Structures are given as C-alpha cells and as structure tokens.
Amino acid sequence: MTPPAPSLLRCLFLGLSALVPPTFTKLQLQVAPGFSNLRVVEGSDVVLPVWYTKLGQESPDPSWKVLSAIWYLQKKDEKTKQVLAYFSTSNVIKESRVSLIYPMPSHNLSLRLENLQEQDSGFYYCSVNVEGNKDFKDHDSSKMVELNVLIPPAPPSCTLQGVPRAGANVTLSCQSPRSKPPAQYQWTGPSLYTKTFSPRFLDMVRGFLNLTNLSTSMSGVYVCKAHNEVGSAQCNVTMEVSSGQ
C-alpha cells in the first residue's frame, strides 16, 4: 500500500488540530496585602499595587505578552470611568495625575495617583489581556481596591447667637464648611470660667455650645476646634457679658 503523500498528512494534521479546542491559561489579578482598602489624605500621592499571575502560581510567566491593560474607577451611582488604558499597538491613554509605575509591557500593573482629590474616591479595578489568553477580568475585580480620600476640616466659622447679658442664655455656633469624615467640635472657654464643656452643654456633631444663666465671670475668648482623624482647625469668638442693668 502506498503511504499518503506528505502534503496529505500535513492537511490531515491541521484538520485534526482544528477539532481540538484551544487551551487558555487562567490569569489572576493580585493586590498587595493590606492595600485592598486605602484611606489617604487629600493632596497626597498613592500607589495601587496590583499584578497578574497564572492561577495558583506566585510569579508570572515571563513569556507572556500583555496586549492590553485597562484601569477603571467605579463610583457609587455613577457610570464606570476608564482612567488609564495600555494597548501594545499604541501609547498609554490616561487621565491627568494617573500613571503606571512600570513601563509596559509588564506583569506589574500598579497604578500611581498623584495629588489626590475627593472625586478620586471609589473602587478601582483592572482588566488585562495577555497574548494566548482570553480577554480576562478578575471575577471579584469590581472591588479590587477601594480608595477613600479623606479631607482635614477647613477653618470653621464661629458666631454668637443671642445677647450676652447677665442671667440670659446664648448659643455659640461653630461650623467647618468642608471635612471628610465629618468634623466633630470641641469648645474651650476662659480659664477663670471653665476650660472644657460637658455634653450637657455641647453638641459635638453640630458644633453648638449652649451657655445658660450668664454671669460677668463668663466673659472672655471661646475657642472652637473642628477635628477629624486626619487634621483639625479652629476659630474663636469673644463674648463680653454685660451686667444687664
């Protein structure tokens, strides 16, 4: 029996190969421990340390070639926003103040955000496509890194409501126009009267200080301090209590 021609064998091999489905390596996006939830002060820089590996392996395959890598920002009740995109056929396309730490192509997709603003808060996630693999997006990528930009209290405004006469009642008000998380307030008064005030008279959330049955000894400078976990600011108001005669 005459053996098949080489060209016929080659065609037969290619035909059988087409029947075998291609295999794809499962990729896994990883975040450095302790960086999945970040709280950073406004104006600072931050790095979101993320890389990809083969599922079950600690190190990436150096032969992989990144075809594309895209970073997204998801804010509550808003449309997902693309903040950076790398394509092997073009340059990196990005928002201002955003850049990749390592030159592409690289298995390390860490993202740097500079001069953080409150609007940078939200969930950041990344999609990567590697040559020889299906376009991949981590199953839990919608909550890969949560960034919360915190804001120290802006200088508050102090006011006095009421007429400071002996025997009367007045309210001191203190409000910071900007703070994240919301500021809490503490009043201090003249040393001859009192240095701090109990919750009975002080509303630490709204910044009110209620002073009752005034006396001339309560005259002086009252200082309000607005504070949160990342900073503080203060203002003051001078009260002169008249004798009421």
How do residues 156-185 score in pLDDT, each as one tens digit? 999 999 999 999 999 999 999 999 999 999
| Parent domain of 219 | 157-239
In a domain, 12, yes or no: no
Give the residue from 88, 123, 150 where a domain finishes: 150
Peptide bond into 105 cis (omega under 30): yes
pLDDT digits (tens, 9 = 90+) for 80-127: 999 999 988 777 788 889 999 998 888 889 999 999 999 999 999 988
Tell me, yes or no, whether 163 and 146 share the same domain.
Answer: no
Chain centroid to Cα 44, Å, comes to: 11
Please write down the long-range contacts of 77-84, taking CB distance under 8 Å and 24 or more positions apart.
83/111, 83/124, 84/111
pTM of the entire predicted model: 0.75
Tell me, yes or no, whether 211 and 134 share the same domain.
Answer: no
Among the listed residues 105, 98, 132, the one whose alpha carbon sits nearest the alpha carbon of residue 22? 132
Q: Give the pLDDT band (50/70/90) at residue 6.
A: very low
Identify residue 238 by its one-letter amino acid code.
T
Among the listed residues 64, 36, 46, 33, the one whose alpha carbon sits nearest the alpha carbon of residue 140? 36
Report the domain count for the chain. 2
Residue 21: Cβ-neighbour burial (10 angstroms; 0-12, 13-18, 19+) = exposed
